[in-house]
A and B are shown apart, each in its own frame.
Chain A
């Protein structure tokens, strides 16, 4: 770290990193504020009062009065979920084909294949990137030392692949979640995507969108927090196990 640790460069880099993060999170501040928009307000400023009505509407799509009991709410919510997992943006082209085949729109028939189709190439690129720096002599060493093929894979290749697997999971998750929300926002099965886009751009944007965004971000933070705790735990474990191989930081 010696070359970078000069007095001025370090804060400069950290400030830049802070700037990038600030730019990335600025929309979320705005989003959170606007999600508490009053019932008569729109999707932009000014705020017309403060309310939580948009959160309520998020969970009660198409309902004008509150539910009488939880069962009714759950049933409606699940039905909405099932109905709404429609084709995502990239599947705009595929939708033509699916329509012809008359497949029932369900996440297993149309959702899953489309999501895998959409994320697979990205994961593939991550793995390609990883394997071009892969040191095969480690596998050779394991084989020479008498490990079976399976053991070599299980105890040498797989652990070495772990960062790549994590990275590709992260990317696939990011892309897929994005698509999922996009299709979640399309309520009703017969709306084609362009109609949805047109509608959402012109008339249908309500602060419900921001409510969803705010909740997703909170959930994401929870997931990331949990992941960091797990990571700390596993780092501690692996540090006990082996010292100083691989990533070479300190």
Chain B
């Protein structure tokens, strides 16, 4: 939270430059803030923090509270117990589903990274005109302005047994009978997730590629590095912030994923978020809350572990 603020802090040595013509009270107060950057950063962080406290903190706190209640016939009953967690963490199902969730999220992250790097690289180096770069980037983003729900459902007519892909392949004689693997399988879910998340990787990657100094690239070329070597020794290290931001996006979105699993994955193997919905479907609000709290906790742990590996706030 602190970092966007740091750049407005005054390096102590430059503070006098400000005080040339300050007699007004306001100016003095402002000057006070510059001399005490700590106070200033707290003030700058305050609105966002309050907002998040209000709209994330309170609901989250109530979910934590609900997770210790009991689901009755008419809703939640304030009857404190740890039964929800005991049955959740004690059962094998939960751990199997957690493992599966991470499997899916890590696979989708890996796939998205592999797919997005060449695309971002192509926009950055191969597309020449600045306007074309922007145009291509926007073209990548436009599909994501249409609801994720709609896009996911379109997979049914595309990849179903009677879908476009199967029909075209049949007509071309590539396959003898409709492929069953295209829909309602873990594979189809994976492809679905890749296509849903790819832009969240291309965007940050491209953004941090444009920050690479052209001279660095020329230097690498002049010193005789092959494109592959340049990629691994220059581009990859320098785009780590973008890679990290993209990974965070995909990770967080993936951990909350439930719809793709239901529609494209065929609702065979629920992930954690899907498990919450299944609990709500059968009116088990308390145990749904317990799963939600656990999922939130897991997400927090995952994100902080990722930030531990590479801190976005540092170069």
Q: Which of B79-87, B102-110, B206-214 contacts A (4 or more CB under 8 A)?
A: B206-214
Residues of A contacting B220 in the complex (Cβ-Cβ under 8 angstroms): 3
How far apart sit A131 and B115, CA to CA, in the bound complex (Å)? 26
How far apart sit A136 and B221, CA to CA, in the bound complex (Å)? 29
Task: Give the Cβ gap from B237 to chain A, nearest Cβ, in Å.
Answer: 13
Contact B14 A144 (CB under 8 A): yes
Residues of A contacting B153 in the complex (Cβ-Cβ under 8 angstroms): 43, 200, 205, 209
Residues of B contacting A21 in the complex (Cβ-Cβ under 8 angstroms): 136, 139-140
Contact A235 B131 (CB under 8 A): yes
How far apart sit A171 and B203, CA to CA, in the bound complex (Å)? 9
How far apart sit A202 and B135, CA to CA, in the bound complex (Å)? 38
Contact A181 B147 (CB under 8 A): yes
Q: Taking A93-B292, A178-B145 as contacts, is the C-beta distance between A17 and B151 under 8 angstroms?
A: no
Contact B126 A167 (CB under 8 A): no
Chain B CB within 8 A of A50 CB: no
Contact B140 A24 (CB under 8 A): yes
Chain B CB within 8 A of A79 CB: no
How far apart sit A100 and B160, CA to CA, in the bound complex (Å)? 42
Give chain B's interface residue range (CB within 8 Å of chain A): 35 or more
Contact A16 B292 (CB under 8 A): no
- Please tell me which one of the listed residues B143, B158, B281 contacts residue A24 in the complex, with CB atoms under 8 A apart: B143
Q: Taking A178-B147, A181-B149, A185-B147 as contacts, is the C-beta distance between A129 and B119 under 8 angstroms?
A: no
Chain A CB within 8 A of B270 CB: no
Name A1-18 residues within 8 Å CB distance of B. 1-4, 9-10, 13-14, 16-17
Name A67-101 residues within 8 Å CB distance of B. 89-90, 92-94, 96-97, 100
Residues of B contacting A134 in the complex (Cβ-Cβ under 8 angstroms): 7
How far apart sit A217 and B115, CA to CA, in the bound complex (Å)? 24
Residue of B135, B136, B145, B195 most packed against chain A (CB within 10 A): B145
User: Which residue from chain B places its CB closest to the CB of A216 in the assembled complex?
Assistant: B146
Chain A CB within 8 A of B93 CB: no
Contact B313 A9 (CB under 8 A): no
Report the number of A-B residue pairs with Cβ-Cβ less than 8 Å.
270
Task: Give the Cβ gap from B138 to chain A, nearest Cβ, in Å.
Answer: 5
Contact A4 B214 (CB under 8 A): no
Residues of B contacting A4 in the complex (Cβ-Cβ under 8 angstroms): 125-126, 227
Residues of A contacting B142 in the complex (Cβ-Cβ under 8 angstroms): 217, 220-221, 224
Residues of B contacting A241 in the complex (Cβ-Cβ under 8 angstroms): none
Chain A CB within 8 A of B301 CB: no
Q: Taking A24-B195, A117-B55 as contacts, is the C-beta distance between A133 and B208 under 8 angstroms?
A: yes
Residues of B contacting A185 in the complex (Cβ-Cβ under 8 angstroms): 147, 149
Contact B150 A133 (CB under 8 A): no
Q: Taking A128-B312, A181-B150 as contacts, is the C-beta distance between A20 and B7 under 8 angstroms?
A: no
Give chain A's interface residue range (CB within 8 Å of chain B): 35 or more
Task: Give the Cβ gap from B3 to chain A, nearest Cβ, in Å.
Answer: 5
Residues of A contacting B217 in the complex (Cβ-Cβ under 8 angstroms): 3
Residues of B contacting A217 in the complex (Cβ-Cβ under 8 angstroms): 142-143, 145-146
- Contact indicator per residue, chain B 240-281, by CB within 8 Å of chain A (1) or not (0): 011011001100100010110011000000000000110011
User: Which residue from chain A places its CB closest to the CB of B249 in the assembled complex?
Assistant: A122
Residues of A contacting B127 in the complex (Cβ-Cβ under 8 angstroms): 14, 17
- Please tell me which one of the listed residues B17, B133, B158 contacts residue A146 in the complex, with CB atoms under 8 A apart: B17
Residues of B contacting A220 in the complex (Cβ-Cβ under 8 angstroms): 142, 145-146
Contact B125 A16 (CB under 8 A): no
User: Which residue from chain B places its CB closest to the CB of A160 in the assembled complex?
Assistant: B7
User: Which residue from chain A places its CB closest to the CB of B5 in the assembled complex?
Assistant: A131
Chain A CB within 8 A of B163 CB: yes
Residues of A contacting B123 in the complex (Cβ-Cβ under 8 angstroms): 17
User: Which residue from chain A places its CB closest to the CB of B164 in the assembled complex?
Assistant: A30
Residues of A contacting B11 in the complex (Cβ-Cβ under 8 angstroms): 136, 140
Chain B CB within 8 A of A107 CB: no
- Please tell me which one of the listed residues A132, A157, A198, A200 contacts residue B312 in the complex, with CB atoms under 8 A apart: A132
Chain A CB within 8 A of B157 CB: yes
- Please tell me which one of the listed residues B10, B48, B115, B312 contacts residue A120 in the complex, with CB atoms under 8 A apart: B48
Residues of A contacting B199 in the complex (Cβ-Cβ under 8 angstroms): 24, 174
Given contacts A17-B136, A27-B155, A144-B17, 4 further A-B contacts (CB under 8 A): A28-B154, A149-B34, A197-B258, A228-B138
Residue contacts A-B, CB under 8 angstroms, 20 given: A16-B118, A20-B198, A21-B139, A44-B163, A93-B59, A96-B62, A124-B48, A127-B3, A128-B312, A136-B7, A144-B14, A149-B30, A170-B203, A171-B200, A185-B149, A210-B154, A220-B145, A231-B134, A248-B213, A250-B130
